[in-house]
Structure 1
Amino acid sequence: MKRKRNEPEENMEIVWQSPANPPQRHDYIIRDGIRYVRPYYFEFISHAKNRWAGKTIVDLFADEFKGRDRDYYVSAVKAGRIQVDGQIVPISYVVRSSQKISHFLHSCRHEPPVMARDIHILHSEPDVLTVCKPASVPVHPCGQYRKNTIVGILQAEYDLAPLFRILLFLGLGIN
């Protein structure tokens, strides 16, 4: 039996996420004390390693990224979901070292929800930000999380970017 998703369905338009498009306030839905992220398409970016040079784009993906079968990669290249240097290429395209390779996920990402507690900024200096981290919210993008993180939420709610160093205060009972 399939489990039902916990995300609210109404007003769940799909948004785009890439490193050049950081989280925005409208990317979140807060309901019943839970912070949800609107589904979004994601661009995975890689730069061609020397060992990839000389391989066709399909061979490269089939050899290096075994999570999907070769037919998927043929289809993705033909549909433009795999691009080289921002250009759609044929399945016979031969990759050169250092080229930017983008893989746009065909299905949208669904991030797990987190508790919708405020992130209190306790102290701010030019190089250091000290915050009170709510439970259940990861600090940095990792795994299934890109926007539902301390870094993503601070970018969206406080327009703080880029963030490299955050001191966390793990307090109890702070609302």
Structure 2
Amino acid sequence: MGKEEAGTRLDVFLASRFTYQSRSNWRKILEEGKILVQGKPAKPSYSIKDGDEILYLPGESFEPPVITDFKILYEDSRYIAVEKSGDIPIHSAGRYRKNNLTDLIQEDPRFEKIYTIHRLDRETSGVVVFGKDSEAASKLAELFSKRKINKTYISYVWGNFPISVSAKGYLISDPSSLIRKKRKFIFENSFQKLETPEEDFETSETNFRKIGEGTFQGLPFSKVYCFPKTGRLHQIRATLYSLGFPLIGDKIYGKDEGAFLEFIEGKDPDLISKLGMNRQALHSSSLKFIHPFTGIKIKIRSNLPEDFPE
């Protein structure tokens, strides 16, 4: 561990750094002797020291249930595109070892093996494309990296969003948040004016266009098209939050990040009353690209899920 973590309780550090478990779950894991510090089992109250080596011995672990339904939207000899729910990760991560979309598809007897190309957050629904072989996956992944895939998302945000916004700038860490992995978007001009150079930053560009508005739980909301040009972690979510229009239902970038903090503390927050939904209102509605092997224009669309506001 580094100097910045020194003096922090071990259970607090684990819950803030590895958010796939709540603090109460990490305490239980510590009490079971599955976490070693300098080779010895440690208590939840242990105060981290500079240079400590922490080892996790997970053993058997419980996987949360997920929505396993998926719909095939497109298939040819090289690719398959499916519509994922808003409650399943793309691949194995954290507590989700087997309950993930990649493993679920591969359990289907129609498919021998699939290769991941891009990803969506666990709570983002909509279009996901997989390769049926490594060459196919590599070629389409290259189109993603070269920004030759036209991606459209539909989001529902709190507030009266402008007719259109072009957000070109940078994603940086958010020191004002208690959530370690939270990011914020700043426009190019603002980034250049920072007094302290930001070491951890990524370029980011997203265009937005409002396509509807209404009232939800007595508050105004907007329905917004999102057209990401880059593909950064939490890009749409962090940008909308930084613009002042947080996603309905977003635990990290929503209108009340206390819901997420309560979650990692092992509490059971009322997400509907705090955030408006049980999951973030972000949907991958379409992908358009030139097929790497046939040269044909491909457009794959996914309808809005039923759990979104009307």
**TM-score w.r.t. structure 2 length?**
0.26
Higher relative contact order (CA 8 A, sep 6+): 1
Greater strand percent: which structure? 2
Query: Which structure is larger by alpha-carbon Rg, 1 or 2?
Result: 2
